[in-house]
């Protein structure tokens, strides 16, 4: 696991955008896994800028989003489909038929989840998966206790996650209690995982992810087993790491490894 610490949220976002852009230039038909939440907004902002000013080309890229609330139509302002359209897709030249966001409105959810997994496989698997982290250490909506081998499925959100997301809804009782999410096992099959975290509220979860034991109680900790995981943090999110000096030392010396 590579841990990169930047001074600010903007620098964290730019570093992440460089990694995404580099992957797209190396493989124009990249299969890109995307996340929602406040964390990746700076990354998306920078990718939009690169598209508009530097011609970064998304025309051959396929995207798969991690998750969606169950019961929300894509027109609902708090749905993840709406979030992605407004914060990324409508500003870049990704083809609409190459965008996958799980649907929150399907009748046969099990069949749908199996289909979503098949589409990922049919696209050749996810090359680069962008991730955030919840305060309780979850990735996508894989709440504590999710199997580290789990696949795309319906989950019940924790009260903590519902509370965290209540700020986006008119009333707390409007926050959906269920979601469709890629599983930890699905995420672990991405060739490269890129997790971003910023702010003091994530420091505890980040320390558990990077330095704690691998446990289903902190589903992000499964990334310790991933052959290529990059964690990019701002200073506040890195504050509780014990080996911070070493991660920075590795980063300073990266050119000698040809990275």
What residues are labeled active site? 67, 136, 138, 143
How far apart are alpha carbons 67 and 187 in whole angstroms? 11
Instruction: Sketch the per residue contact string, 196 through 235, with ligand GLP: x for CB under 6 A, - otherwise.
Output: ----------------------------------------
Q: How far is the CB of 74 from ligand GLP (least distance, A)?
A: 16
How far apart are alpha carbons 250 and 259 in whole angstroms? 11
Q: How far is the CB of 202 from ligand GLP (least distance, A)?
A: 7
Is residue 132 a contact point for ligand GLP (CB under 6 A)?
A: yes
Residue whose CB is less far from ligand GLP, 67 or 234? 67
- Per CB under 6 A, contacts with ligand GLP among 145-174 are 161
How far apart are alpha carbons 130 and 17 in whole angstroms? 10
Q: Find out whether 185 and 153 touch, Cβ atoms under 8 Å.
A: no
Q: Which of 24, 43, 128, 133 binds ligand GLP (CB under 6 A)?
A: 133
Number of H helices, E strands in the chain: 9, 10
Beta strands in the chain (DSSP E): 2-6, 31-34, 62-65, 67-69, 99-100, 128-131, 153-156, 178-181, 192-197, 229-234
* H or E element in which residue 84 lies: helix 80-87
Is residue 184 a contact point for ligand GLP (CB under 6 A)?
A: no
Is residue 140 a contact point for ligand GLP (CB under 6 A)?
A: yes
Q: Which of 134, 137, 176, 183 binds ligand GLP (CB under 6 A)?
A: 134
Q: Give the total of residues touching ligand GLP (CB under 6 A).
A: 13
In terms of Cα–Cα distance, which of 174, 141, 167 is closest to 156?
141
User: For ligand GLP, which stretch binds (CB under 6 A), given 47-55, 96-104, 106-114, 127-135?
Assistant: 127-135
- Per CB under 6 A, contacts with ligand GLP among 9-38 are 35-38
For residue 245 the two structure tokens come to 């000096």
User: Which residues sit at the interface with ligand GLP, rule CB under 6 A?
Assistant: 35-39, 66-67, 132-134, 140-141, 161
């Amino acid at each position: 696991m590579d841990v990169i610490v930047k001074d600010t949220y903007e620098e964290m976002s730019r570093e992440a955008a460089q990694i995404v852009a580099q992957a797209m230039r190396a493989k124009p038909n990249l299969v890109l896994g995307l996340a929602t939440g406040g964390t990746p907004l700076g990354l998306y902002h920078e990718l939009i800028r690169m598209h508009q000013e530097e011609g970064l080309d998304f025309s051959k890229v396929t995207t798969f989003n991690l998750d969606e609330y169950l019961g929300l139509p894509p027109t609902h302002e708090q749905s993840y489909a709406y979030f992605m359209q407004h914060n990324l897709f409508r500003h870049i030249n990704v083809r609409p038929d190459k965008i996958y966001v799980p649907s929150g409105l399907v009748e046969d959810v099990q069949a749908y989840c199996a289909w979503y997994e098949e589409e990922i496989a049919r696209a050749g698997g996810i090359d680069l998966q962008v991730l955030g982290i919840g305060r309780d250490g979850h990735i996508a909506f894989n709440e504590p206790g999710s199997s580290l081998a789990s696949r795309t499925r319906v989950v019940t959100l924790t009260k903590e996650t519902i509370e965290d997301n209540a700020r986006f809804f008119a009333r707390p009782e409007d926050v959906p209690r269920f979601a469709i999410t890629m599983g930890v096992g699905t995420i672990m099959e991405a060739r490269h995982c890129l997790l971003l975290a910023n702010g003091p509220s994530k420091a505890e979860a980040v320390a558990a992810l990077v330095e704690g034991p691998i446990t289903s109680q902190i589903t992000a900790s499964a990334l310790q087993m991933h052959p290529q995981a990059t964690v990019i943090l701002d200073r506040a999110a890195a504050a509780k790491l014990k080996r911070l000096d070493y991660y920075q030392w590795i980063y300073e010396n990266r050119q000698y490894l040809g990275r």
